[in-house]
Amino acid sequence: MNKIVVVYKSKYGSTKKYAESISDRLNAELFECSDIKPDKLNEYDTIIFGGGLYASGINGISLITKNYQSIKDKNLIVFTVGLASTDDKEIFIPIIEKNFAEEMSNNIQFFHMRGGIDYKKLSFVHKPMMAMMKKIVSKKKEEELTDEDKMMLDTYGDKVDFTDINTIEPLVQFVENLYNK
Ligand SMILES: Cc1cc2nc3c(=O)[nH]c(=O)nc-3n(C[C@H](O)[C@H](O)[C@H](O)COP(=O)(O)O)c2cc1C
């Protein structure tokens, strides 16, 4: 019997929302990252991991990278959730390069979804981080600003929610195709 698991790490809830919908659609078991022991991953033949983006790091991704050798023969899927627009997939190349060794990134299927931010709810660690990022970006010349920088400056201090559950569809179809071959 084929088994699928969805594991997620979510600080403010966007990644959790996507992970729950993906597990519903695929009839997959669902775990918050800290509720699953690495050994348990061996029970599944498809592992879907989702994590929020924090300063280009993927929250919780060490579950996959640290245990890669024992899970590398499985279907591995990682989805990220961040504020940045997902229209241009090129912007995720440096994020993948930062988080994974080349062998891993060649063997993992990636998907990117959009999250949100509510500055009022940021933790005591994240609030000054965002203030620092704003300070750095504000010093850039207009022509040096990336789309991501502009979006951050436009939404700084506010509450924005770009989550769109329909954007799980490519991931869901990818996994369904694995089983319909
Ligand atoms: C300190 C901090 C750093 C962030 N860095 C990034 C980033 O590098 N790229 C990005 O797209 N979004 C970034 N975000 C936005 C989060 O990824 C976004 O809020 C996402 O919805 C978080 O998902 P979660 O609530 O499931 O953890 C950052 C947010 C905070 C608070």
CA atoms within 13 A on the CB side of 77: 26
Indicate whether 2 pLDDT > 80.
no
Ligand 1 pocket member 11 (CB < 6 A) = yes
Give the distance, in angstroms, between the CA of residue 167 and the centroid of all CA atoms in the same chain.
Answer: 13
Q: 159-161 and 116-118 as β-strands: parallel, antiparallel, unpaired?
A: antiparallel
Nearest of 75, 23, 69 to residue 47 by alpha carbon: 75
Indicate whether 1 pLDDT > 90.
no
Ligand 1 pocket member 84 (CB < 6 A) = yes
pLDDT one-digit tens code per residue, 17-71: 999 999 999 999 999 999 999 999 999 999 999 999 998 999 999 999 999 999 9
Residues 34 and 68 in one domain: yes
The per-residue pLDDT for 95 is: 95
Residue range 126-142: average pLDDT?
96
Q: Domain total for the chain?
A: 2
Where in the chain does DSSP place strands (E)?
4-9, 29-32, 46-54, 57-58, 75-82, 108-114, 116-118, 159-161
The per-residue pLDDT for 148 is: 85
Its domain, for residue 136, covers 119-159
Residues 61 and 85 in one domain: yes
C-alpha 103 to ligand 1 mean position (Å):
26
Q: Cα separations (Å) of 106 from 50, 69, 72, 102, 122?
A: 18, 14, 11, 6, 34
The domain spanning residue 107 has which CATH number?
A: 3.40.50.360
Residue whose CB lies within 8 A of the most ligand 1 atoms, among 53, 90, 135, 150, for a mutation test: 53
Residues 138 and 92 in one domain: no
pLDDT one-digit tens code per residue, 60-103: 999 999 999 999 999 999 999 999 889 888 889 999 999 999 99
pLDDT one-digit tens code per residue, 144-173: 998 889 989 999 999 999 999 999 999 999
